[in-house]
Structure 1
Amino acid sequence: MTWILLLLLSGACLQAGNSAGSKRVNSFGINQPARLSGVQGSSIEIPFSFSFPWGLAEDSQMRILWRWKHFHGEFIYNSTSLFIHEHFKNRLILNWTQTQTSGVLRILNLKKKDQTMYFCRVHLNTKEGTKIWQSIDGTQLAITPAIRTTMQSPSMVTSAVTTAGLDNTEGQRNPSLVNLRATVGVVVATAVLITPVYVLMIFLWWKQRPAD
C-alpha cells in the first residue's frame, strides 16, 4: 500500500514540474488586435505589446519589425534601419521607444491595397542570447470607402438663382418697358386719327383748285 502512495505522489510532482516548465517556455509572445477597420483616406493605429521571460543583455538592441499579407510576408518597417516599404512611403509612424514593451504602428492616408494582415516581430539580445519572435495571428485590417457628399456645381447654383430670379419677377412690368409701350400706343393712335384728316384736306384742296 505504501509503494502505491509513493507512485501517486511522484506522478503528481512530475505533472506539476511539467506545468511550471511549460509556463516558463510559453511566457513570451506578442499581443495585437485580431481585427481593425479604417476608412479610406484616413489613418489608423495598430496597438501591440509583447512579453518575455529572459533578462535583457547590457546592450539589448531591441527592435521592432512589421510584416504584411501573411506570416512570412515582406517586411514593411524596421525600427533600427528606419526602413519603410515603398508602398507605405511617408505613411508609417511607429510610436515606440527602446526598452518599452508596447507601442502603436500608425498608418496614414489609408489606401484600398492596405487591406490585409499585419504581423509585429520583436528582436532583442538577452542574457541567454538573441531572441526573435513574431505574432502568429496578426491583425486583419479592413478598409471601407470614404462617404462622399454630393454638392451642386457653381454653374448649377447660378442657373438655379437666375431661374429663381426670373420666377420672382414674373408678372412684374419693367417701368421703362411700360413707358415705351405707352409712347408707341399714343403715336399709333395719333397717326390713326390724323391720317384721315390729312387725306380729307388733300381731297378738298384738289376739288377746289381751278381747272386748266
Structure 2
Amino acid sequence: MALLVSLLGGNQAMSWILILLMSAACLQAGNSPGSKNKSTFGVNQPTNLSGVQGGSIEIPFSFSFPWEMAQNSQMRILWRWQHLLGVFIYNSSSGYTHEHFKNRLFLNWTQPQTSRVLRILDLKEKDQTKYFCQVQLNTTEGMKGLQLVAGTQLTITHAISTIMQRPSIITSVVTTAGLEDTEGQRNPSLVNLGAKVGVVVATAVLITPVCVLRIFLWWKKR
C-alpha cells in the first residue's frame, strides 16, 4: 500500500490533511513487498521486522514514481517513527539525525538510487515502534512526496545467554582442590611415627660404640 502526496505551494499542513482525506482512495493494495501487482508509484518496505537488543537491524526500502524529474532535480529521503505523522528521525539532505539515534542510525543511499536500507545499530528497547520512509522529489510537475501508510513495525527481543557447566568438570575441580589441601597438611600419625623411628636410630648410634668398647676391655682383661 502506498500513498501519493503532492506538496504544492509549500503548504505542509494542507498537504497532510489531504493525505488523511485521500488515503482510502490513494492506497494501492498491490504495492506491498512480495505483491504480484505493483502500482506505478509508491514506497515499499517490509511490514514487520525483528531485532535483538544490543544488535543491529536493516530496514530495506524501495520506491518508484511516474513523473519526470525537474532540471534542478532534488531528491531526499526522510524517516519518521512511531506513527504516520510522527517526528522525523532522519533527513538525507541535511544529515539530521534524531538525538535518540545519534551515532546509531545510518542511511545507505545516494541519489538517484531507488532502493537501499536504513541501518540501526545498538538496538534499544525504546526502538520498538513503527518506522515510515518518506521520499520527496522535485519533478516537472512540482514537488512530490511518497510515503507508505503501513510503515514497518520493529520488534525488539532480549538476548538470553545461558552458561552451562558439565558436572565432570565441576567434580574434577573439587577433587583437585581437595588434593591440594591435603598435600598442604601433614598427617599427625605419620609425623609421630617418624619422630619415634628417629629417636630409636639415634639411640642405637650412641649405644653401639659404648657396647663395643666394653666388650673389647672385657676381652683384654681375660
Interval containing the TM-score (normalised by the shorter chain): 0.5 to 0.7
Question: For residue 165 of structure 1, what is the aligned residue in structure 2?
Answer: 176
- 2 CA distance for matches of 1:57 and 1:151? 63
Change (3 A) 1:66 1:186: same
Change (3 A) 1:173 1:185: farther
Change (3 A) 1:168 1:113: same
Q: Deviations over 1:54-73 (max 9, x none)?
A: 00112211000000000010
- Of the three residues 118, 129, 132, the one matched with 2:142 is 129
Deviates more, 1:175-184 or 1:72-81: 175-184
Return the offset for 1:172: 8.0
Question: For residue 151 of structure 2, what is the aligned residue in structure 1?
Answer: 138
- Residues 4-153 of structure 1 aligned to structure 2 (within 5 Å): 27-150=40-163
Change (3 A) 1:82 1:188: same
- 2 CA distance for matches of 1:140 and 1:169? 59
Return the offset for 1:141: 0.4
Question: For residue 192 of structure 2, what is the aligned residue in structure 1?
Answer: 181
Change (3 A) 1:54 1:166: closer
Q: Which amino acid aligns with 1:183?
A: G
Return the offset for 1:102: 0.8
SS in 1 for 2:93: coil
Unaligned runs of 5+ in 1: 1-21, 190-212
- 2 CA distance for matches of 1:173 and 1:140? 64
Change (3 A) 1:69 1:171: closer
Change (3 A) 1:182 1:166: farther
Over the aligned positions, Cα root-mean-square deviation in angstroms equals 3.4
Unaligned runs of 5+ in 2: 1-27, 29-38, 201-222
- 2 CA distance for matches of 1:172 and 1:88? 59
Return the offset for 1:185: 3.9
Give me the identity figure in percent. Answer: 58
- 2 CA distance for matches of 1:173 and 1:98? 75
Query: Could you state the TM-score of these two structures normalised by the residue count of structure 2?
Result: 0.63
- 2 CA distance for matches of 1:170 and 1:44? 53
- 1 CA distance for matches of 2:137 and 2:184? 88
Larger radius of gyration: 1
